[in-house]
């Protein structure tokens, strides 16, 4: 069983359209679509935007459907000096950039309870996603994806997150999903197509770029499932 999570409808529609023998169930307001995709059993969900919805969706998916692997797919912003719109980022680590208990002596970003800052993604999943992108001849980067409950559009804040955590892309869900998978010992991977890299061009029509980027991410997930 492969679990697939996207935050927005545009991030899962390109996958739901191809699913066979589809059944759906709504739990806590989130719809889980189960079926067959390229001869593999999958469950696909749109979690909603933000860390809480992402964690809620992931934990429910693990308890209810027991996936062997969870893939988080979708779009994200990138660092203008590191990525271009349309590039694809594979997360090998995720970090919660808004986690901060430094007031009691902890490093910024450290997650209390598991006591780490960078949560590692599954090495085998990273390699398989990279192989798919290589076959697609897509521009790709492997690196840290930073997550926080804020849509960031300030260039200086982007630079700060990059400097502090070494992040090359940032969003509002990846590290939350990674956190839940990590504590449940479920393999997971993150694939993000860059829809905005802090440039003025990206700000002109976010949804236009996001729709194109979502199609790229979905194509990578399809390639992963096929192989």
156 noted as active-site residue: no
Tens of pLDDT, residue by residue over 38-79, are 999 999 999 999 999 999 999 999 999 999 999 999 887 776
- What is the set of domains in the chain, with CATH numbers? 2-226 (3.40.50.1580)
E-strand ranges in 57-166 read 69-78, 88-96, 119-120, 140-147
The C-alpha atoms of residue 33 and residue 129 are separated, in whole angstroms, by: 23
Distances from the Cα of 145 to the Cαs of 53, 58, 94, in angstroms? 18, 18, 5
The reported pLDDT for the residue numbered 113 is 92
Element (H, E) at 195: strand 187-196
Determine which one of 11, 87, 171, 173 is catalytic.
11
The reported pLDDT for the residue numbered 16 is 94
Tens of pLDDT, residue by residue over 79-103, are 666 667 778 899 999 999 999 999 9
Nearest C-alpha neighbor of 14 from the set 74, 91, 65, 60: 74
Determine which one of 25, 100, 196, 200 is catalytic.
196
Residue 202 has pLDDT above 60, yes or no: no
């Amino acid at each position: 069983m492969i679990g697939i999570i996207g935050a927005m409808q545009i991030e899962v529609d390109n996958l739901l359209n191809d699913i066979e023998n589809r059944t759906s169930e709504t739990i806590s307001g989130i719809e889980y679509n189960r079926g067959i995709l390229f001869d593999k059993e999958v469950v696909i969900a749109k979690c909603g935007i933000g860390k809480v919805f992402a964690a809620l969706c992931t934990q429910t998916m693990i308890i209810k459907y027991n996936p062997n692997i969870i893939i988080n797919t979708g779009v994200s912003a990138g660092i203008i000096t590191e990525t271009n719109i349309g590039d694809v980022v594979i997360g090998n680590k995720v970090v919660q950039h808004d986690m901060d208990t430094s007031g009691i002596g902890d490093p910024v970003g450290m997650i209390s309870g598991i006591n780490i800052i960078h949560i590692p993604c599954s090495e085998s999943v990273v390699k398989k996603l990279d192989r798919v992108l290589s076959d697609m001849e897509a521009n790709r980067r492997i690196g840290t994806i930073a997550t926080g409950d804020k849509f960031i559009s300030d260039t200086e804040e982007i630079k700060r997150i990059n400097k502090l955590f070494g992040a090359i892309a940032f969003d509002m869900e990846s590290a939350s999903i990674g956190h839940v998978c990590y504590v449940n010992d479920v393999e997971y991977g993150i694939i993000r197509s860059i829809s905005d890299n802090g440039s003025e061009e990206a700000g002109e029509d976010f949804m236009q770029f996001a729709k194109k980027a979502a199609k790229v991410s979905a194509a990578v997930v399809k390639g992963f499932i096929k192989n």
